[in-house]
Chain A
Amino acid sequence: MTTADYDQASLPDLLPLYYRRLFPFSQYHRWLNYGGVTKNYFQNREFSFTLKDDIYVRYQSFSTQNELEKEMQKMNPYKIDIGAVYSHRPNQHNTVKSGSFQALEKELVFDIDMTDYDDVRSCCSGADICPKCWTLMTIAIRILDRALRDDFGFRHCLWVYSGRRGVHCWVCDEAARKLSVAARSAVAEYLSLVKGGDETVRKVVLSDPIHPFITESLTVVENYFSQYALLGQDILGSKEAVDKVLALLPEDVRKKLLQYFQTEKNPEKRWDTIRSMAQDKRMTAKKGHYFEMEIMLQYCYPRLDVNVSKGVNHLLKSPFSVHPKTGRISVPIDLRELDRFDPFEVPTISLICEELDQPKTEEEQDDNMENENKKEAGERRKMRDYKRTSLAKYVKLFDNFLEEMAHSRKGEVLKNSGECNLNP
């Protein structure tokens, strides 16, 4: 059982425990310090906390990991957001001459929210998610991660479960952190294919030439389309669903299909027909007709909120923060096991607090003896504590991510000093 019956009312009791014994402060600080390469990078970072009774405080900043820990243990925030690295310490921004206090750097971030897909998912709506529509997140992660790596050359992308109905991506490369507002906006636009709100029926419009980025994205969608859309969402099953699909097609195609669908009820066969009709049209007509691709993209392609990605000073929910409504921890997602990721298996704060109370296993007692000499008692206990819970594997993931970044930094230093890095 992974939820251990989470109840929002118990947060005031659980949070102190979480921040005292489970939150991975050491890794967290290691992340945001980025190897200490830039002076005051951690000190000038803005955090914002949402406290009990919806009290919201901005411009929090800390000089050391210790100070961060003490403050968080004192305030027990319900939610934690991370903002930008500023020109001065955020908690002193009122003392700075107006106009001089500027947001300088921040990770490039993306926020994919399931509610943005309400017009194309039939299983759930609003804040609800289920295993069927979760595939949309899987597709989004695959497409965006590939693009960020291959097209943009970013190497350090941390994907995090938001805790309820979506995922976030934190692109931590130095080049990404230094991007201007215009650049962030350009990246987000490059990655956007689904455009339009409630009043737009046809949200994806493709024309010649089809950019390699679109081709690559389609390849990913095709891997999931049959299982997810035709079977899971049954988009060519019921009359209502079929009508929605047909609304995206040119008039003449729609008429032919309506007739054809009277006899053919099998969704796979129906889809095959739509596909071949598109291909035929491309052979004969002068203009490109890509309606089968447009349908696939409209139903499956990631929908991101450009505004979240654009602003250098935009605040986004922190990894390892708790989601107050669901109790789930915002954990990193393992891309190697992406298809197996289950948001309903993500540990809640109540679960991991309960796990803390379990008696120690023999294995852990051995570990204790080994680590006895290494670190101070407090840290030792903390290390043991989260390791005893379901949070362990997620902290390990985070560790791996940080290790890769450290490795990259070392590589850069060697490169810049003229030596060659023998270990790729």
Chain B
Amino acid sequence: MQFYSRRKKLIGNSQTEQLYGHCLQFYGQPPIENISLSEFETFAVDRLKLLKTVENLGVSYVKTSELYTKKLDAEFSNLNFPYKIEADDWKPQTGPSEYEKRRKDHISHFILRLAYCQTEDLRRWFIQQEIDLFRYRFNDLPSKNIGQFLQYNNLHYHTISIDEKKKLMDKLVTSSFAVSGSTVDGKDFYKVPFQDALDLVRTRKVYLNGGYVYIPHQDIVTIVLNDFRTRLSKALALTARSLPAVQSDERLQPLLNHLSHAYVGQDYSIQKSIGKISLEQIDPLSAKSYPLCMRQLHRGLRDSHHLRHGGRMQYGLFLKGIGLTLDQALQFWRSEFVKGKVDADKFDKAYAYSIRHMFGKEGKRTDYTPYSCMKVILSNPPSQGDQHGCPFRHSDPELLKQKLQSYKVSPSGISQILELVKGMHYQLACQKYFELTHSIEDSGFSLNHPNQYFMESQKLLGGPGAGVKVEVKREDNPEVAAEITEDLDSFFQDA
């Protein structure tokens, strides 16, 4: 990846058309021109915003639904990325041209590769969003352009002859739900090595013979996606190896680091409005602005004057995230535990340490971040006697129903929530809980973090926990960092 150090001559129009002859690409070739630092930064941040949108929409909507597509269309156009192939306007009236959009798409992808190649987690996230993005854009291509795309990218998926189709007619029809006799007659079928279509093989959704699967034209997207995933995965591994050379460039290092931290989105780790919440406010806040998981934990703590480790971690970090100081936290937990079986001495010896640990004041001094919804839902499931976890995921539906009834949620609201739970849309269920308890139609955000729930609720109610600005950790180079963090700050606020 040396595009920022090679000299480049001016490129004429015909060459540019060749370079970006298709609105969709596999990102096989890195860009080879000079760009300014500010363009570098803008491109990267814009693409990151796009990928974050892709991630959020993917949680809230089915990835091929109309609503999803419409929302993503809007984001594309806002951020000036290419998305409609008919837009062959090389010289538009206003805004960037199609060529410029495609160039941005190309360059920004490669910049983000630099930021996201370093760890397994980062790679996995980046690949997932780029795949979803690619799928959305590929599905948008009219069918003649698909053939063009395949050819352009040397994907040798051969169509089978009419004779072969006739011979295999029965088999093709019985292998796939979506394939009827007329489909076989009318559409092209591609013969693809089975290794390139594992998802279809695994679920037996396709005819397999002699090591090849026979795929109707409309399903070729799965194949192309697999190809894309493999290529990108390999490329990222290669990128990671040449990263030291890139990182030695001091202009880029801070930005790349910030970009890779951004993937978790707002992590609510540092609060500018620390101490805006007083301990007396916690009880009423728990009823008004806590997500169900935290409300449950708070209730459990108040009732039994104790919480087990999992609960202390989940709730303790949440409290840090809403703005409690270390002293407040210590006071809060001690006062509760002391009402139970723990005396003040024992508390100081056994529990205070772990609270200080949460705030990064002990041990290796990692500043632990409050758990996101994904973390609460997927890791450390609660067992008997535990209060942590996600009630929509981990509670028995009957118990969940009772709890919601006791919190005065309407019967129709409860059934809506239970439907979502049945479909395993736990975050959507919590979002619905938000909407019902705040008496609004549309929450206006995609829920992925308990502290986000709290903040959004406080924003709505005009409470003290709202308007919290997140500060990004600053790196050693203050000038560059200052420039960069301004942009990144504003980005984070939109998340």
Q: Tell me the A residues contacting B by CB distance below 8 Å.
A: 150-154, 175, 179-180, 182-183, 185-187, 189-190, 208-215
Q: Decide if B202 touches A190 in the complex (CB within 8 Å).
A: yes
Q: Looking at A154, A183, A190, which has the most chain B CB atoms within 10 Å of its CB?
A: A190
User: Which residue from B173, B199, B208, B212 sits with its C-beta under 8 Å from A209?
Assistant: B173
Does chain A have a CB within 8 A of B207?
yes
Which of chain B's residues have a CB closer than 8 A to the CB of A214? 204
Q: Decide if B202 touches A186 in the complex (CB within 8 Å).
A: yes
* Alpha-carbon gap, A185 to B201, bound state (A): 10
User: Which residue from A150, A189, A211 sits with its C-beta under 8 Å from B202?
Assistant: A189
* Alpha-carbon gap, A210 to B201, bound state (A): 15
Shortest CB–CB separation between residue B191 and chain A, in angstroms? 12
Q: Decide if B210 touches A211 in the complex (CB within 8 Å).
A: no
Q: Decide if A209 touches B201 in the complex (CB within 8 Å).
A: no
* Alpha-carbon gap, A133 to B80, bound state (A): 67
* Alpha-carbon gap, A150 to B194, bound state (A): 13
Q: Decide if B198 touches A183 in the complex (CB within 8 Å).
A: yes
Interface residues of B in 400-423 (CB under 8 A from A): none
Q: Decide if A152 touches B211 in the complex (CB within 8 Å).
A: yes
Which of chain A's residues have a CB closer than 8 A to the CB of B174? 209-212, 215
Does chain A have a CB within 8 A of B175?
yes
Q: Decide if A153 touches B202 in the complex (CB within 8 Å).
A: no
Interface residues of B in 198-223 (CB under 8 A from A): 198-199, 201-204, 207-212
Which of chain A's residues have a CB closer than 8 A to the CB of B458? none
Which of chain A's residues have a CB closer than 8 A to the CB of B208? 151-152, 190, 213
Closest to A179 in B: B195
Does chain A have a CB within 8 A of B159?
no
Which of chain A's residues have a CB closer than 8 A to the CB of B202? 185-186, 189-190
Does chain A have a CB within 8 A of B71?
no
* Alpha-carbon gap, A212 to B211, bound state (A): 15
Closest to A178 in B: B195
**Interface digits, B205-245 against A, CB 8 Å rule (1 contact, 0 not)?**
00111111000000000000000000000000000000000
Interface residues of B in 101-120 (CB under 8 A from A): none
* Alpha-carbon gap, A211 to B199, bound state (A): 15
Which of chain A's residues have a CB closer than 8 A to the CB of B175? 209, 211-212
Shortest CB–CB separation between residue A286 and chain B, in angstroms? 15
* Alpha-carbon gap, A187 to B211, bound state (A): 11
Which of chain B's residues have a CB closer than 8 A to the CB of A212? 171, 174-175, 207
Shortest CB–CB separation between residue B189 and chain A, in angstroms? 15
Closest to A189 in B: B202
Give the tally of cross-chain contacts (CB within 8 A).
53
- Are A182 and B204 CB-contacts (below 8 A) given A150-B210, A210-B174, A212-B171? no
Q: Looking at A182, A183, A186, A215, which has the most chain B CB atoms within 10 Å of its CB?
A: A186
- Are A150 and B198 CB-contacts (below 8 A) given A209-B174, A211-B204, A212-B171? no
| B contacts with A, residue count (CB < 8 A) | 20
**Interface digits, B166-191 against A, CB 8 Å rule (1 contact, 0 not)?**
00000101111100000000000000
Which of chain B's residues have a CB closer than 8 A to the CB of A209? 173-177
Which of chain A's residues have a CB closer than 8 A to the CB of B176? 209
User: Which residue from B173, B199, B212 sits with its C-beta under 8 Å from A153?
Assistant: B212
Which of chain B's residues have a CB closer than 8 A to the CB of A151? 208-211
Closest to B209 in A: A151
Q: Looking at B177, B202, B212, which has the most chain A CB atoms within 10 Å of its CB?
A: B202
Closest to A211 in B: B204
Which of chain A's residues have a CB closer than 8 A to the CB of B211? 151-154, 175
* Alpha-carbon gap, A258 to B173, bound state (A): 37
Give 9 pairs: A residue, B residue, CB < 8 Å, sorted on A. A151-B208, A151-B209, A151-B210, A151-B211, A180-B195, A186-B201, A189-B202, A190-B202, A213-B208
Q: Decide if A213 touches B209 in the complex (CB within 8 Å).
A: no
* Alpha-carbon gap, A195 to B83, bound state (A): 43
Shortest CB–CB separation between residue A193 and chain B, in angstroms? 9
User: Which residue from B171, B195, B201, B209 sits with its C-beta under 8 Å from A190?
Assistant: B201
- Are A153 and B198 CB-contacts (below 8 A) given A211-B174, A212-B171, A212-B174? no
* Alpha-carbon gap, A186 to B193, bound state (A): 13
* Alpha-carbon gap, A163 to B203, bound state (A): 33
Which of chain B's residues have a CB closer than 8 A to the CB of A190? 201-202, 204, 208
Which of chain B's residues have a CB closer than 8 A to the CB of A179? 195
Q: Decide if B209 touches A150 in the complex (CB within 8 Å).
A: yes
Interface residues of B in 24-41 (CB under 8 A from A): none
* Alpha-carbon gap, A252 to B264, bound state (A): 54
Which of chain A's residues have a CB closer than 8 A to the CB of B204? 190, 211, 213-214
Which of chain A's residues have a CB closer than 8 A to the CB of B195? 175, 179-180, 183
Which of chain A's residues have a CB closer than 8 A to the CB of B212? 153
Which of chain B's residues have a CB closer than 8 A to the CB of A154? 211
Interface residues of B in 41-90 (CB under 8 A from A): none
Shortest CB–CB separation between residue A223 and chain B, in angstroms? 21
* Alpha-carbon gap, A189 to B200, bound state (A): 11
Shortest CB–CB separation between residue A382 and chain B, in angstroms? 39
Shortest CB–CB separation between residue A398 and chain B, in angstroms? 25
Shortest CB–CB separation between residue A309 and chain B, in angstroms? 12
Q: Decide if B203 touches A189 in the complex (CB within 8 Å).
A: yes
* Alpha-carbon gap, A11 to B243, bound state (A): 57
* Alpha-carbon gap, A153 to B193, bound state (A): 10
Q: Looking at B171, B194, B199, which has the most chain A CB atoms within 10 Å of its CB?
A: B194
Q: Which 6 A-B pairs have the closest CB atoms?
A: A153-B211, A186-B202, A186-B198, A153-B210, A189-B202, A151-B208
Shortest CB–CB separation between residue B225 and chain A, in angstroms? 14
Closest to A210 in B: B174
Q: Decide if B198 touches A152 in the complex (CB within 8 Å).
A: no
Closest to B204 in A: A211
Shortest CB–CB separation between residue B343 and chain A, in angstroms? 46
Shortest CB–CB separation between residue A173 and chain B, in angstroms? 9
* Alpha-carbon gap, A179 to B196, bound state (A): 11
Shortest CB–CB separation between residue A244 and chain B, in angstroms? 27
Interface residues of B in 145-181 (CB under 8 A from A): 171, 173-177
Q: Looking at B173, B195, B203, B209, which has the most chain A CB atoms within 10 Å of its CB?
A: B195
Closest to A215 in B: B174
Which of chain A's residues have a CB closer than 8 A to the CB of B209? 150-151, 153
Which of chain B's residues have a CB closer than 8 A to the CB of A153? 209-212
Shortest CB–CB separation between residue A190 and chain B, in angstroms? 5
Q: Decide if B210 touches A208 in the complex (CB within 8 Å).
A: no
* Alpha-carbon gap, A142 to B209, bound state (A): 17
Q: Decide if A187 touches B210 in the complex (CB within 8 Å).
A: no
* Alpha-carbon gap, A208 to B207, bound state (A): 14
